[in-house]
Structure 1
Amino acid sequence: MASCSPSSQNQEKEKLDSNTSAKEVTEAKAETPVDPHEHEADKEDHCDGKEESLTLTPEETLALAPESNPVVKHEFVQTASFSGQIYRGAGEASLRHGREKQGSAYASCLLPAEAAESVVNNVEAQFYRPPPSKDQFTGSLLSKEDEESGWRAGQRELLWEIKDPALSLQVGDIVTGSVTLDTQPRIALAVPNDAVLTTATGPVVYLHQENYWLRKIVKIGAQDRGWTEILEGLQEADQVAIRSVDALYLLERKKESGGGHCH
């Protein structure tokens, strides 16, 4: 009977392993097609995430007429947001011995105990239906329930009287609200709301430096009476565009796409 020598067996094994490896590599390449647009997509994302500068021609400056204002310190009024539920509709008759009267709806809302302490008697609050509704109502504080009656630890129940002449709020309806707290205003860096543009990569502003505009990524906080709080990205007295911000962004994107790369 014929037999294979050890050297012959090793040669056959190496040949088989070589063929198998080549086959696996070929199959892997076939299963992982190369996307010809992958590099372009990466490049576009890279452009979006960078802080880019834009230089305007005299004609572009005349057409856009951008205007800048300095970053300032602004007093932000402290507010609290909350949600609640209507427990009595405005169409129900007044209670003889109760506080609730016909013509107003009444809501029960929970606030953190610390925030509830800063809600003063008879303060007004704004109430809204959940989206997509745009209905808005004005209400006033009716009472603060005892802390022990809170539904959750660390929270306090507040009852609100809401003006509802159209009798549109029904028992069980959910509302959201916002109320000004009786606390010292908070001082923070701020820019006008119009200076901030929301983009796919987040909020940006255009910083005016000498003869060019620098797109600056910023982190924003609260908004109050036409001002937006700046948490990161700017310093006091920085000059930022407050007009034609969207036009600056569109012009920059147009120049980027025309050049095929970030500037």
Structure 2
Amino acid sequence: MNMMFDLTGRRALVTGSSQGIGLALARGLAEAGAQVILNGRDRAKLVDAQTQVQGAEILPFDVSDHAASRAAIDDHEAKQGPIEILVNNAGIQHRAPLEEFPAEAFDRLLRTNIGSIFNVGQACARHMIARGRGRIINIASVNALLARTSIAPYTATKGAVANLTKGMATDWARHGLNCNAIAPGYIRTALNEALWSDPAFNDWLQKRTPAGRWGKAEELVGACVFLASDASSFVNGHVLYVDGGVTACL
């Protein structure tokens, strides 16, 4: 049974992995045997993260830039070897009332949260298709299903991530690729510090979540290893919610 989850010898690229959920997933994949490639725009932060992930490489590039993404991935494939697992984790947040939401912030959300999935996913898939095998795991959110005040554009981007995942599976499953998504619930990270540091929101969330607490980034690792491994060989186009029960109840 353990062999089904063993990632030994497989190379995994995790975008946005210098901190938070991305770094936790990178550590988890490495512990399952994968050779992990850390990605982000800040080389110094990547070098620091590299010390926390056994045997990790770094590959700095801007995932919101289509040409840069393809060039970096093609170069790595040619010089270092195949990327067999891709975790599209890079993402940003911006909070503001919708009627006052800055157009430039909306554009940044689109480029980073959706554009990066397309850019890096397409670049890696071209090589995976040629090999007839690959795993793509996109990080969505409970906000793919549920809206909340002040984050309407973010909610739109995560809904798009869920549907783009289904589109990837529809186009690429026939070529041997498994394309799925993880939709985290409220995970206590730096990205949402404005929420967990707010006593009123913190109280509301704990009452709203059946599990009665925030999630930990490490609690997403099991789902990621499952979707990256042979254990999920017939799972395709699925969005796996890891949310403490938030999407199960009113």
Structure with the larger helix share:
2
Q: TM-score by structure 2 length?
A: 0.18
Structure with the larger strand share:
1
* Structure with larger RCO (C-alpha < 8 A, sep 6+): 1
Structure with the greater alpha carbon radius of gyration: 1
Q: TM-score by structure 1 length?
A: 0.17
